[in-house]
Structure 1
Amino acid sequence: MLRYVHTNIIAKDSKKVIGFYKEVFQCKSIGQTRDLKGEWLDRLTGVKNAHIIGEHLCLPGYKDGYPTLEIFSYDEMRVSIRKEINQSGFAHLAFEVDNVKEMLQRIKDAGGGQIGEVVTTKFEDGRSAEFVYATDPEGNIVELQCWSKKSEYKAAK
């Protein structure tokens, strides 16, 4: 068997970040909260006396509880540099929304931020899309996108 299961965010304040994704993106709890510690976790993470708390949230648009967004906090956190869109490694989460500007405002109202501008572009297949990069309250990058359908694009000409 092969299936995608989850994406993990390590948060300074997991309760705050969990609340943000529930409020803004309507992620739902699947009843999988975690309070993990023990020798097995130390071996798995390579962190001595590791203690992780957090929760799995079902992403919008999916059933059966998967895939999830796993939001955890460690008791002892390492400080890192600010995340940037062109930094190597994990870059962002993307959500398709009905209205980019309205969702961006919801993000800002919930303590998130904005990177760059809201842009609209047309593609060779006749569709257009509006995009913006935003951030959650801890600076994790979130892409918002709203796609037109070919027929909507042609009818709007």
Structure 2
Amino acid sequence: MGVQRMDNVGIVVDDLGGTIDFFLELGLELEGRATIEGEWAGRVTGVANQRVEIAMMRTPDGHSRLELSRFLAPAVIADHRNAPVNALGYLRVMFAVDDIDETLERLSRRGAQLVGEVVRYQDSYKLCYIRGPEGILIGLAQELK
């Protein structure tokens, strides 16, 4: 059998609490928080002696999750938060929203900044990219009915 589903997308952050608050404002739910450490964790990730605080955020439909991680040890070694949208590697995570303008208004109060502009794609979608907490690139899509 092949893939059953995509379980989650992981994002490493410095301010776990602030990032949780941002995604709560977006409409995700906090599924749980934990500290991950131990020999088994290093075997999975290839990072020995790690100690990581995680928070699992779930979309309201229960099908998608973000795993937010804050490394306590070892220290973070790279920073991709300000990479442009055409950079190699992780690009963005996109969420379908009911009302893109209302969502932008709420998230701007939490520091979100529009990357370009809100555009209309044919008669199907309104789309935009924002920079959320710590420069995380987030796409928003409103289906036009």
Q: 2:53 aligns to what? A: 53
Secondary structure (helix, strand or coil) at the match of 2:102 reads: helix
Moved over 4 A (4+): none
Q: 2:112 aligns to what? A: 112
Asked whether the equivalents of residues 130 and 138 of structure 2 are also in contact (C-alpha less than 8 Å), the reply is: yes
TM-score scaled to structure 2, two decimals? 0.86
Which amino acid is 2:137 matched to? I
Q: 1:71 aligns to what? A: 68
* Structure 1 residue 35, shift from structure 2 partner: 0.4
- The correspondence for 1:136, drawn from 103, 125, 132, is 132
Q: How does 1:1-157 map to 2 (within 5 A)?
A: 2-23=4-25, 25-30=26-31, 32-60=32-60, 62-63=61-62, 66-75=63-72, 76-81=75-80, 82-122=82-122, 127-149=123-145
For 2:129 and 2:34, locate their aligned partners in 1 and report how far apart those are by CA, in whole Å.
30
Q: Deviations over 1:20-46 (max 9, x none)?
A: 1012x221122x322011122222222
Q: Deviations over 1:65-102 (max 9, x none)?
A: x4211111101222424222111222111112222222
Long gaps (5+) in structure 1: 150-157
Fraction of identical pairs, as percent: 27
> 136-145 or 37-46, which moves further after superposition?
37-46
Secondary structure (helix, strand or coil) at the match of 2:117 reads: strand
Which amino acid is 1:21 matched to? F
Q: 1:155 aligns to what? A: none
Which amino acid is 1:78 matched to? I
Asked whether the equivalents of residues 132 and 143 of structure 1 are also in contact (C-alpha less than 8 Å), the reply is: yes
* Structure 1 residue 144, shift from structure 2 partner: 1.1
Asked whether the equivalents of residues 20 and 30 of structure 2 are also in contact (C-alpha less than 8 Å), the reply is: no
Which amino acid is 1:69 matched to? L
Two-structure CA RMSD over aligned residues (Å): 1.7
For 1:106 and 1:135, locate their aligned partners in 2 and report how far apart those are by CA, in whole Å.
14
